[in-house]
Amino acid sequence: MTDRHYPGRATEAFFGRRKGKPLRDRQAESLAMVLPALKLDLAAPAPARLADLFSVPVDEVRLEIGFGGGEHLVHRAQESPVTGFIGVEPFVNSMAKLVGRVIDLDLRNIRLYDDDATQVLDWLPPASVDRIDLLYPDPWPKRKHWKRRFVSQVNLERFHRVLKPGGLFLFASDIDTYVNWTLIHCRNHGGFEWLAQDASDWLTPFAGWPGTRYEAKARREGRSSAYLTFRSV
C-alpha cells in the first residue's frame, strides 16, 4: 500500500454475514488451492498497468463489487476474453462457487478479492478502471441501516478516482428506495452523468445481460428492476 490518504473505514460495514452452509469438500479444496493464486495482493503496490494483473493479454479492466453467485461475472468473462475482470465478494460460499466455475471453464481473465471492496478501490491506481458494476447490492432496507448502503458520497468519490475519464458505473436493483438513493447521490456528487434518455433506458437490462438469481427472485416476488448507467465526467 502507498502512503496516500484514504477515507476512514471505521463506520463502514457494507456486507452482512461472511459464511453460510459448510462448504463441500471439493469446494473447500478448490478455495484453498486456487483462491490464493487469483487473489489480489493488496500488501504490494498496484501495478501501473492493471492489465499486468492477468496472465492473458487484456485491453480493459472492469470491477464487479459483490458478485453473489457469480453468474454475471462468469458470463462477462466468457463474453469478453480480452477484458480483465476483478471480482470482489466477501461471502465465502459465493466465492467458493465462483472459484469452481473459474476452474471448470479455465478462465484466465479473472482476479478476485474476498473482503471489503473499499480496500480494493483504495489500492487501485487513479484512472485505471474502465467500468464498475454494482449489481443488486444489499439494499439495507431499514432506514436506520441506510448508512450501510455501498452507494455513498465517500464511495462514489472512490469510484470517480479509479474510473478512467468516460468510464462507466452500472447499478442494478429491484428496491425503489435504493434506486432513488443512487440517483440522488450520483447527482449530488457531480462527477457522474446519468445516461438515460427515456424510461425504457433504465427499465431495459444492460446489453448482453444474463440475468442473476437475485433478479429471478425479485421477479417471482413481483418486483421490477432498474438498470442505471452513469458515465464518469
User: Which amino acids are annotated catalytic?
Assistant: 138
Burial of 164 (0-12, 13-18, 19+ CB in 10 A): middle
Q: What is the largest CA-CA distance in the chain?
A: 50
Retrieve residue 13's grid coordinates.
460495514
Contact 75, 99 (CB under 8 A): no
Q: Can you tell me the distance from the alpha carbon of 208 to that of 210, in angstroms, rounded to the nearest whole number?
A: 6
The gap between the terminal CA atoms of the chain, to the nearest Å, is 27
What order do you get walking across the sheet with 192-194 strand by strand?
110-113, 83-88, 60-65, 129-135, 163-173, 226-232, 192-194
Q: Can you tell me the distance from the alpha carbon of 145 to that of 178, in angstroms, rounded to the nearest whole number?
A: 12
State the DSSP code for 188.
H
Q: Can you tell me the distance from the alpha carbon of 190 to that of 103, in angstroms, rounded to the nearest whole number?
A: 41
Backbone angles phi, psi at 192, to 5 degrees: -130, 130
